[in-house]
């Protein structure tokens, strides 16, 4: 490498080199710091958005108008934007649209590990999985391939890549000449759109996957390791440290997979697949008896290190290994056993824990009140889910949810509860920031009161400083005696945020 910078800085350089005109980001581990950096260096072209679906739709609007755009989201945010993402490939886009998504191997700051590469299969769009040597090159290729195929491209990252020393490349990212709106799409049936996609776009993706220098097979010996993304970097270091003559197929364009390169790799005597968090590549080739990896117990966990690669290589002759339990730290999101001592919502959450009704929480700070000894909430499914889940409690119950989560994705459930007079008490923790991700402020949060007053017939706004635990207990007990949709907005200032 001529010159190095960390993954965050390298991405900012690449986005600027690509001439990206609009970036829409939703905070969440592990991409919060990246997005903050992008917003700082690309303002006013980059901004926070409250929902990934809105972010993608705005990026799409910019793309079809001829602007290169980008969405930055964490892996579970990809679930939220998947609806327009999947349709956009056959609808066609305009200028390059790239979704940068952060996966979280070991779930250090998330409710699951989830592997974003699978969205490439579902949406039939290219997926890039960069390593520190080619991160900037992946951004360039993603924009160019997105424009040639008129489909969005996904770049999958992990926290280790963002922190790694990455190669600084001088990029030239030419633009495809495009007419801004593809009006030809309206003369095609739904099936016709898909046929056109398979005729025009898919062969370009396959060709690129086979011939790009981002996918490389280095021949060194009769065994081979197949890897992708940051894991490729770990594999190279492991082979170097172990002084091993093992061949290496390193992939950074993983959807579509380069089938002829994979077929060449499968002709080696023994094959080990090293990837995270899920066995995405391995699932495609696991029927070959000499393939080892996660499904055979050779790769035991995510967060793969050099020692894990060397350990697996020593055991290639063993067909299946016993699973190993990997202890994880308790001081993780979802398992952290405490709300901050100085949290303004603490008395409210303590009062909740004393009420004998089911409580649906959310995966913002509220989830920290779920474990014993506080046990304030009974379930917490996903961001924005509390109102819907509590509306499903047969005898009624409480939804406790942050202001960010409510506006992110709980409004349809709120409307449903109002329309069907469902007995649910919604407790909104309003601190006007996205507290759990570091206190990002979004202008949408200022609109909370106006939005909910149009939906809820009964809204009480209470300052957290006005009530102690007993006061909250009394207020919530009184509100629980009512029927239909009721809401209390608890206002507090998050000292951490």
Q: In the complex, which residues of this chain contact ligand SF4 (CB under 6 A)?
A: 339-340, 343, 345, 365, 431, 435-436, 494-497
Q: Residue 33's CB: how many other CB atoms inside 10 A?
A: 18
- How far apart CA 129 and CA 231 sit, in angstroms, is 10
Q: Which is nearer to ligand SF4, 160 or 368 (CB)?
A: 368
Q: How many CB atoms lie within 10 A of CB 285?
A: 20
Least distance (Å) from ligand SF4 to the CB of residue 353?
15
Residue 74: CB minimum distance to ligand SF4, A: 18
Question: Which one, 106 or 349, has the nearer CB to ligand SF4?
Answer: 349
CA–CA–CA angle 344, 345, 350 (5° rounding): 125
Q: How many Cα atoms sit within 13 Å of 290 on the Cβ side?
A: 13
- Smallest separation (angstroms) from ligand SF4 to the CB of 495: 6
CB nearer to ligand SF4: give 221 or 495: 495
Q: Both tokens of residue 451?
A: 């939005």
Contact 452, 423 (CB under 8 A): no
Report how far residue 384's alpha carbon sits from residue 43's, in angstroms, rounded to the nearest whole number. 28
**Residue 157, class by beta-carbon neighbours within 10 Å (0-12 exposed, 13-18 middle, 19+ buried)?**
buried
Nearer to ligand SF4, 124 or 403 (CB): 403
**Using an 8 Å Cβ cutoff, are 63 and 95 in contact?**
yes
Using the minimum distance from each CB to ligand SF4, give the nearer residue, 303 or 371: 371
Query: Token digits for 159?
Result: 């926290």
Of the pair 340, 479, the CB lying nearest ligand SF4 is at 340
Nearer to ligand SF4, 83 or 496 (CB): 496
Sign of the C-alpha dihedral computed for residues 361, 364, 368 and 374 taken in this order: negative
Q: How far is the CB of 364 from ligand SF4 (least distance, A)?
A: 7
Q: CB-wise, 98 or 429, nearer to ligand SF4?
A: 429
Least separation, in Å, of the C-beta of 68 and ligand SF4?
35
Distance CA(235)–CA(274), nearest Å, equals: 8
How far apart are CB 436 and ligand SF4 at their closest, in Å? 6
Q: How far is the CB of 494 from ligand SF4 (least distance, A)?
A: 3
Nearest approach in angstroms of CB 439 to ligand SF4 is 8
Residue 479 φ then ψ, to 5°? -65, -30
* Interatomic CA distance for residues 109 and 90, integer angstroms: 34
Structure tokens at 234: 């770990």
Please list, in sequence order, all residues whose beta carbon lies within 8 angstroms of the beta carbon of residue 61, skipping any fewer than 6 positions away: none
Question: Which residue, 30, 39, 40, 33, is CA-closest to 8?
Answer: 33
Q: Confirm if 247 and 221 have CB atoms less than 8 A apart.
A: yes
Q: Which residue has the tokens 């917003």?
A: 39
Which C-beta is closer to ligand SF4: that of 147 or that of 491? 491
Residue 172 neighbours by CB distance under 10 Å: 7
Query: Which is nearer to ligand SF4, 281 or 339 (by Cβ)?
Result: 339
- Alpha carbon distance 262, 491 (integer Å): 56
Please state the φ and ψ torsions of residue 73, each to the nearest 5 degrees: -150, 160
CB closer to ligand SF4, 224 vs 494: 494
| Least Cβ distance, residue 54 to ligand SF4 (angstroms) | 24
Residue 445 CA to residue 187 CA, distance in Å, equals 41
Q: How far is the CB of 273 from ligand SF4 (least distance, A)?
A: 39
Measured from the CB of residue 267, what is the shortest distance to ligand SF4 in angstroms?
54
């Amino acid at each position: 490498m001529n010159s190095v910078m960390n993954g965050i800085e390298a991405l900012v350089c690449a986005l600027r080199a690509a001439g990206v005109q609009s970036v829409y980001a939703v905070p969440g581990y592990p991409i919060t710091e990246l997005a903050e950096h992008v917003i700082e260096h690309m303002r006013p072209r980059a901004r926070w958005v409250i929902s990934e679906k809105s972010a993608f739709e705005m990026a799409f609007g910019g793309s079809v108008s001829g602007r290169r755009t980008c969405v930055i989201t964490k892996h579970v945010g990809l679930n939220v934007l998947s609806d327009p993402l999947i349709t956009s490939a056959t609808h066609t886009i305009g200028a390059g649209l790239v979704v940068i998504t952060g996966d979280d191997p070991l779930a250090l700051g998330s409710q699951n590990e989830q592997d974003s590469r699978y969205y490439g299969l579902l949406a039939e769009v290219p997926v890039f999985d960069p390593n520190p040597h080619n991160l900037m090159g992946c951004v360039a290729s993603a924009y160019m391939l997105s424009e040639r195929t008129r489909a969005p491209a996904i770049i999958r990252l992990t926290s280790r890549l963002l922190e790694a020393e990455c190669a600084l490349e001088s990029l030239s990212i030419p633009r495809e000449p495009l007419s801004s709106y593809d009006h030809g799409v309206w003369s095609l049936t739904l099936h016709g759109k898909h046929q056109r996609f398979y005729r025009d776009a898919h062969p370009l993706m396959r060709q690129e996957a086979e011939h790009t220098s981002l996918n490389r097979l280095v021949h060194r010996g009769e065994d081979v390791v197949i890897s992708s993304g940051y894991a490729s970097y770990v594999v190279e270091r492991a082979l170097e440290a172990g002084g091993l003559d093992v061949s290496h197929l390193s992939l950074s364009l993983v959807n579509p997979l380069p089938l002829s390169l994979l077929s060449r790799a499968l002709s080696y005597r023994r094959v080990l697949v090293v990837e995270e968090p899920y066995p995405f590549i391995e699932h495609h080739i696991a029927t070959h008896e000499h393939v080892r990896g996660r499904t055979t117990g050779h790769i035991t966990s995510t967060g793969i290190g050099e020692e894990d690669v060397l350990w697996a290589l020593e055991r290639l002759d063993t067909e299946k290994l016993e699973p190993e339990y990997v202890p994880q730290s308790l001081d993780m999101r979802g398992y952290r056993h405490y709300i901050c001592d100085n949290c303004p919502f603490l008395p409210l959450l303590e009062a909740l824990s004393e009420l004998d009704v089911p409580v649906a929480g959310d995966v913002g700070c509220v989830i920290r009140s779920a474990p014993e000894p506080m046990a304030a909430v009974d379930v917490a499914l996903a961001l924005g889910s509390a109102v819907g889940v509590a509306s499903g409690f047969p005898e009624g119950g409480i939804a406790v949810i942050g202001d960010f989560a409510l506006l992110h994705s709980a409004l349809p459930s709120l409307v449903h509860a109002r329309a069907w007079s469902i007995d649910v008490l919604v407790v909104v923790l309003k601190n006007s920031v996205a507290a759990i991700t570091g206190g990002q402020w979004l202008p949408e949060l200022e609109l909370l009161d106006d939005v909910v007053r149009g939906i809820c017939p009964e809204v009480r706004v209470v300052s957290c400083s006005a009530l102690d635990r007993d006061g909250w207990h009394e207020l919530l007990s009184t509100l629980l005696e009512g029927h239909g949709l009721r809401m209390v907005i608890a206002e507090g200032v998050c000292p951490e945020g």
